[in-house]
Amino acid sequence: MFSIGTLRIDTPFILAPLAGYSDLAFRLQCREYGASLCFSEMISCHGLHFRQKNTLDLVRTVESERPVAMQLFGSEPDLMGEAAGILSEHPIDLIDINMGCPAKKVIKKGAGCYLMKLPALAAKIIRAVVQNSKVPVTVKFRSGWNHQSIIACDFAKMAEDNGAAAITVHARTWSDGFSGTADWRLISQVKQSVFIPVIGNGDVQSHGDGLRMLAETGCDGVMIGRGALGAPWIFSADAPENPSLAFRLAALNRHLALIAKYQPDTPPSQIKNHAGRYFKGVPGGAEIRRQIFNQTSYFGLKKLISSLS
């Protein structure tokens, strides 16, 4: 249990902002399995400025998922500040600033992890967001740009000095992408560098991994990203370590029900991206995934899943 500003976090397990995945239905499911806080996928400050429908759809939330965090990305302090003000008018509990995304399309805009190369600009962005936000502000970043510039501790102090209420550290560099092994030692070093809460991120593939990260690094929270895809039960200490096919099908059926209730217009391609991941490592999983990706509608997918039960 810890607090981010005035926001109380009851358990240390948190869902990461995952582009294309951390939508309302998936966040709700992760909350049901015990995630204490869920982050939206990244939201463009430009999209908010122009009130674009696709962007505003990402901000949609419901009372039952609170507390909920929305993640902003951009590279212009004024626009980021304006976007924080817009987000603050919605029923949310926290705004996170993306300074860790390694995607080329984000880097080309001078946003995401590129801001670790420009700490003075990053500081201006953090100040602008904090000044315009009505909720606590956090910053998510990486170890550094590459292994010749590991600056996470200094970057963490800068974020704290400019008003961040907590930080999340993905213990890889931009040059690492998602390859190699996350260096949890860095999370421990960052924790010792600041007074605000530190959330660790990287290589948490099971609930046990999360507990180990807490013990080894002393971090306050554990953010789980890819490890939660197709396995939202990772947030539960009571879930089986190797879930049966029946367990996975029940979880997927619940996910599909949440989509039908809250996001009935979700494109089949997006639903299939989620659904296929439930069968990773399952005997016959490759064939199940093939059948899933052959479906062209929600109802076809639902019928297929029912036939597997």
**201-231 pLDDT, tens per residue?**
999 999 999 999 999 999 999 999 999 999 9
185: CB partners within 8 A, 6+ apart: 171, 217
Domain spans, the chain: 2-235, 245-308
pLDDT value of residue 1? 84
pTM confidence score: 0.96
CB 167 within 8 A of CB 156: yes
**174-201 pLDDT, tens per residue?**
999 899 999 999 999 999 999 999 999 9
The catalytic residue positions are: 101
Q: How many CB atoms lie within 10 A of CB 95?
A: 26
Cα distance between residue 277 and residue 282, in whole Å: 10
CATH superfamily ID and name for 2-235: Aldolase class I (3.20.20.70)
Cα distance between residue 35 and residue 236, in whole Å: 8
> What is the token pair recorded at 66?
């609170």
Q: How many CB atoms lie within 10 A of CB 213?
A: 27
pLDDT value of residue 309? 77
Q: Is the pLDDT of residue 35 over 90?
A: yes
The CATH code for residues 245-308 is 1.20.120
Average pLDDT over every residue of 166-178: 95
